[in-house]
Chains A and B, each alone.
Chain A
Amino acid sequence: MKWFRGRSPVDVVGIGLVLAVAVFSLVLLVAPSIIVVIISFDTRAYVTFPPAGFTLRWYKAVFEHGELVEAMLNSLQVGLTVTVLCIVLGVPTALACVRGRFRGTTALSVFVLVPHMVPGIVLGVAVLFAGALVGVSPSIWLQSISITVFILAVMVRTVQSRLMRLDPALEEAAANLRATPFQSLRTVTFPLLMPAILAGAVFTFVEGFDNLSVAIFTHGFRDRPLPVELLALVQYTSSPIVAAVSGVQIVLAIAALVIVSMSIGLDKVNE
């Protein structure tokens, strides 16, 4: 044990705590995921551990299960819709909050945050009831819009924090170098915000794809999203097919993480 030589006691305690937290979260978060993945390859038709053998039949079953495939496609559609809406609404909102010269920029940035602070279930129920009052019934569109409202804050905050770190002199330089306000936005501001927009897009897509609390009250009767379908599935079966769906989602989540870290990595090259 030589690593603590020459370090202050505060450092030693700090490093110890960080290690402890890391191990703890690894065990609590990652271990179950690994177990789920292992179970998804099990040859037996019910959930056990350790597995009895290796098979891909549950993955095959997932893609032959019509309702599951449809639910995945529905969730994909919701995820993409939410992402597009969040970019279209969130980026201008962030620009207005940070660069805006009008009264109420602070109010605006707080206002965007409010739906995110409300528990998803409350938001979902509220949309359902309000919709019923004005004659809007649950649908894949209502679900997409509700989740957009719920998650918009994440896009706004991500872009906002990047914007606040951008040297305002860059945009002034662009203007001084003959750029019109629109040219400055297109050639300087947007390219420099790209990593943040990309990161925000990944977060909002995952939320759109994965959200249960809002979706459960707002999704269309015939357009069940994946989380709702899965919830229904686990209620009457314990076959590893559920584990296989989780396996698919884990692969997607890892892909998303890689995209985020790459876009943040690109961000650093620029600075």
Chain B
Amino acid sequence: MMHGPAGPSNTVETTAPVLGIGAVGKRFGATRVLQDFTLDVAEGEIVTLLGPSGCGKTTLLRCVAGFWEADGGTIEIDGQDIVDVPVNRRPVGVVFQSYALFPHLTVARNVGYALRMRNKPRAEVAQRVASVLETVSLTGFENRYPSQLSGGQQQRVAIARVLVMEPRVLLLDEPFNALDAKLRGAMQVELRQLIKRLGLTSIFVTHDQEEALTMSDRIAVMSGGKIEQVASPDEIFDRPATAYVADFIGVSNFLETEVETGHVRLPDGQTVMTDLTGGVKVMTRPHNLRLGPPEAGPWKGTVSFHRNVGPLIEYHVEASDGNVIRVSAMRQERDCPVKDRSQVSLSVIDPASCSVYPG
């Protein structure tokens, strides 16, 4: 549906964020769902809220859209506080998880809805609807009802319906949930390209880490109503700020150990520098580990399980201390994989890529 390269997102050089969320809180009775939530979103940027179920992602979107009132804090768009602006006057477009298409209206009337509510002239409505439908490749579907569309088409209508009003901020709450896995992958790429081409400032909600890595300029990893870390997908993956983030994104191995004057010693004998003291957790990704013959090093274990995941082989190695370590290696066609129950030794490929967290 969306063609061409992603727009030049880095040419816009503005300092003021389009959307500024400052110290927003929200509670239901005694449970605090959002605590001191602060996030700025720059012009044309896609920020993803990623976190487990119930961590407050939808709650934040609903506060920004105005469906719920935040208990405190500020929500600004282009520097204007919108906390007291009613829902129907906020320059915000929401794509709902269920799409929430109007079942009694055709595609064209769904898409033109916002314009009709603003009493735009008929000709202008028709022209803008046609142009938006073309953008999302739904030309020819004008007179269908939502029930006569596939899931992917319904989602495009939901997006078109919001695009037609040219919102300053786009909010998407798990828009791919209702799609099957294959379509989801394709739609992620298309949607990102479309949003980038239109230069829309967006908050995207998901609890799927792969989706977050695909869609985002920055990812905000949330836990219990707070942000744990906001950073680019690469940084979140390569240098997770906390053990929680490391655990949430990708597969991680945690090794508990003690700091010895400025560094920790890994079980294979190598060292990692750290400023921390006392008990710590060292995290290493499966692809930063290597298997060798049992006599090759001091860190020994037994392969308890292995499986083929496309280009990679994933091993579970039970170390002598009982820890199960996950290791992945590129699969070479002629190599025969290390068999289950065989004795191996483990070593870290690049100690500098390990992260150290307070224990």
A167 interface hit (Cβ, 8 Å): yes
Size category, B interface: 20 to 34
**B92 within 8 Å of A by Cβ?**
yes
- How far, in angstroms, from A93 to B3 measured CA to CA in the complex? 51
Chain A residues touching B, range: 20 to 34
Is B241 on the interface with A (CB-CB < 8 A)?
A: no
- Among A170, A183, A191, which residue has its beta carbon within 8 angstroms of that of B100? A170
Residues of B within 8 A of A174 (CB): 102, 113, 117
Query: B102 contacts which chain A residues (CB < 8 A)?
Result: 170, 173-174, 188
Asked if A169 meets B104 with Cβ closer than 8 Å, knowing A176-B87, A178-B165, the reply is no
Q: State A271–B98 Cα separation when bound (angstroms).
A: 13
Chain B 151-168, CB-CB to A under 8 Å as 1, else 0, gives: 000000000011001000
Q: Closest approach, in angstroms, between the C-beta of B45 and any C-beta of chain A?
A: 21
**For residue B67, which residues in chain A have a CB less than 8 angstroms away from its CB?**
172, 175
Kindly provide the distance from the CB of B154 to the nearest chain A CB, expressed in whole angstroms. 13
* Beta-carbon contact of A177 and B117 below 8 Å: yes
Q: Is the CB of B147 within 8 A of A177?
A: no
Collect the chain A residues with CB atoms within 8 Å of residue B88's CB.
175-180
* Given A177-B117, A178-B165, A270 and B147 contact (CB-CB distance below 8 Å): yes
For the complex, give the distance between the alpha carbons of A176 and B93 in Å.
7
Cα distance, A192 to B88, chains bound together (Å): 21
Known contacts being A179-B88, A271-B147, is A172 close to B103, with CB within 8 Å?
no
Does B338 touch A at the CB level, under 8 Å? no
Report A170-220 residues with CB < 8 Å from chain B CB: 170, 172-180, 183, 187-188, 191-192
Is A269 an interface residue, CB under 8 A from the partner? yes
Within residues 109 to 165 of chain A, which ones have a CB less than 8 A from any CB in chain B? none
Is the CB–CB distance between A269 and B118 below 8 Å? no
Binding site for A on B (CB under 8 A): 65-67, 87-90, 92-94, 96, 98, 100, 102-104, 113-114, 117-118, 147, 161-162, 165
Which A residues have a C-beta under 8 Å from some C-beta of B?
167, 169-170, 172-180, 183, 187-188, 191-192, 269-271
- In the complex, the 9 A-B pairs of residues with the closest C-beta atoms, listed nearest first: A169-B100, A177-B114, A173-B100, A175-B87, A178-B117, A270-B103, A179-B117, A176-B94, A178-B114
